[in-house]
Structure 1
Amino acid sequence: MERRKVDILCVQETRWKGSKARSIGAGFKLFYYGVDSKRNGVGVVLKEELVRNVLEVKRVSDRVMSLKLEIEGVMLNVVSGYAPQVGCELEEKERFWSELDEVMESIPTGERVVIGADFNGHVGEGNTGDEEVMGKFGVKERNLEGQMVVDFAKRMDMAVVNTYFQKREEHRVTYKSGGRRTQVDYILCRRGNLKEISDCKVVVGESVARQHRMVVCRMTLMVCKKKRSKIEKKTKWWKLKKEECCEEFRQKLRQALGGQVVLPDDWETTAEVIRETGRKVLGVSSGRRKEDKETWWWNEEVQDSIQRKRLAKKKWDMDRTEENRQEYKESQSRVKREVSKAKQKAYDELYTRLDTREGEKDLYRLARQRDRDGKDVQQVRVIKDRDGRVLTSEESVQRRWKEYFEQLMNEENEREKRVEGVNSVEQKVDKIRKDEVRKALKRMKSGKAVGPDDIPVEVWKCLERQQWNF
């Protein structure tokens, strides 16, 4: 996906049991659903930049699932489908189309829809009588399952994108097995949004699946550009746990305060001096995201094996001789061995590190990361108004929250019996003592979120060791 610059990928026949989301490395995340590990299963893969745009995930069955994304104010629904094969029972086929109908009917008319599915049917070449939903550039003749695809497109006002772009047959065939060359994988979109798709073709030479080939389309959304959020660079306060850094910080702060070890009463000025000293002594982070942890085992041997496998697949596609087939099978086995070896080496090093005292924090961090990766929706980005319409802009969301709390806080409700006759208690409150502050600091944990002054508890622990007066 990274090499082909694919942002969204619909996958079928995953054969993974469960309904989860997981990071698959290289900055991509897979949302999937499956009931049986031996058959069916669907999923959608998103690149990292789009993961935080996910608003909703619907797992209808092991043949149909959908994702709703908000991209710069535009609502995009991505549906992954896997239709029953030709030999399956009619009841199973009808159930699939019924589920797909329900998904489409639940999507508001103004939202965009893209369906990527293995429909296991041939819509055929030519479009006589069906010009409103498909183009002329299919493959071979239509069958019953292909007619179901066309009927669905008419029913839901969709367009079969593959058939609108004139390509060589090699770039239209999505399924090859022995001497069979057919088109069963399709991309559909709303007819009104067809102009947003500039190209659609089959990618030849990629070892995506044993018999299927990847269908790629280029879609351009007309969106309103939002201001990019400024990357926040944070001071590396965690370095204060090293005594040499802590000592240097104290010395520089003492110099900045004119040689005093007493913090002045002017807190705003003092806080800025502390922050500036921290930036100079400890440095600041780049603000960029950390390296993807799912591919830390990747090495040059694995990369070289995958490249050779890709070339062997391309060679076999062009000339299907027994020698080329054997070379491709050997390259597949080589990749599996190299990946297994690289993972084993990396995990051995990881387990050795986690077995140390310093590695305990890494253990909890990895657990939290796995928990976050398993969640469908990372954060709530949009809300609905009173009429159920989705609000996407920051101003409209803030306005809706204001309306909600005004109504909530100003609404009169029946009150319980009031407590009467309560006497106030007057008590002298002593000033906070230094020993109380020191005890409180010892109980406080490091690495916690900072307050409005952006100064963490590590600073106070560092200064307290030298008996600084606060």
Structure 2
Amino acid sequence: MAAQRKKWPSVPISSGLPSYGSGCGKEGAEGAKNLWARTGSLKDVTICTYNVRSLLGEDRLYDLEKELGNITWDIVGLCEVRRRGEHLQQLKSGHLLYTGGKEESSIGGVGFLIHKTIASNVISYKSTSDRVSQIILKISKKQTMKIIQVYLPTSSHADEEVDMVYEEIAELLDEDKANFTIVMGDFNAKVGKREDNSEMMLGKFGIGTRNDRGDRLLEFASSRGLKVMNSFFKKKEYRKWTWQSPNGTTRNEIDFILTNRPDIITDVSVLNRFNTGSDHRLVRAKMHVNFKLERSKLIRKNASLNVDKLKHRKDEFQLQLRNRFQVLQDEVNQEDINDIYNKFSHTVQTCALKRENQTTDKITKETLDLMGKRRQMKVSTQKDSIEYTELCKTIRKRMKREIRSFNIKKVQETITNDSSYKATKRKLSSGKSQLIAIKGEDGSVIHDRDQIINHVKIFFQHLYSSKVHVDAPIIALDADEDITPVGVDEVAKALQEMKRGKAPGSDEVLVDVLKDGGDVILEQLAKLFTL
């Protein structure tokens, strides 16, 4: 039976710091002067992961810092630090060292080394065990980055222990939301090369063969929308492997950097000249965040697409799609399936996002003018009072009539277009009802907002969780058998059965847009499904 996981307390970022005085050095003292004062935006960040094998002695730490002095870095996630307990230490160099390990033994342990220039951007640090730690960085006024460092058990440990570590990672992913998420470390797993185009979590530059733990890693990555970034950059093989056996005959890639935002990663490479005597090699990822682009994405995401207006310019929309896809056609055979799909969704969104001015106000301009007149009226005589009363009656009558007319029109459009009745009801309502109280498991009434949200979350987690194991069907395919291409008619039938007005997936492409795209969308989807 698997051991129960231990809950670890989180360390406040201001605790455990030595006093600033002699020994810090000039750079350290200057860096520590305003250690917790926020710096500017972190547009470019260099993140590394490294199984150091030990930081127990001062010599090990000195060796690590000396080696890091020869490379560019901002954050280093560390495995096997072998330090007891959970600590934060400002080093003499001014860098910050976060470590989390077992209290009773110097085995395992993970942590982070944060460069002094970005130390002030660390919002929080948390360890859930000696195998999983997390930091959250403030990279701009409105955006944060979550980095989770992991050290998975080796093949000598039971699968139950591996599953427990993945559960810890999943809990951290769910607990603290961030704009960008990185999961990295020593996974003790070989993912190898991509086996088919359905493995979208992998790029086309993997190396070696896959093992069972590699399958488990890819299963987790797929369920969480993470990409194994080591496999997305073409490097020579000696710049890919991350561990070698004691006799030097076996070399494997088992240290990885995963993210939910592959678009910000500009490079991932193994540094073959970085060496502290470990049997692992340091993996480094370079990131670039385009804050202007991120703001525009946020605006586009929050601005709802005028689907009704799109229906009235179908011809223009379809012509734009055909022209754009014609330009991209020559690149299809030379690109990765992920890149092809990303360009498809981007093209569809770009063409569909053309908006026309539209007022969603239920009240006409004439009524709004009367309301403006009412605001300007000065009631000083009996005649003014009578005129004011009659004007109020007129406004109320017009508002009732116009609101009713607006609602009837929307209902008629919903029936004609076979749109979602629930969505129309939400649009016509005056607002959303909110819970102000909920009954807890012990029967007590809870009014606190955060506690209500937490109870609802736990309820649905239990409702939709399942521990029933279902074996996936095994489908034998003849290697010589030709697979029939997906036809346009098949796509059209599937799309016809999909309802309008439904929420989009992570690609933000609405079903309504696909339906209004006509033959050009059907042709592109058929090609994508056939690749």
**TM-score, length-scaled by structure 2:** 0.41
Higher relative contact order (CA 8 A, sep 6+): 1
**TM-score, length-scaled by structure 1:** 0.46
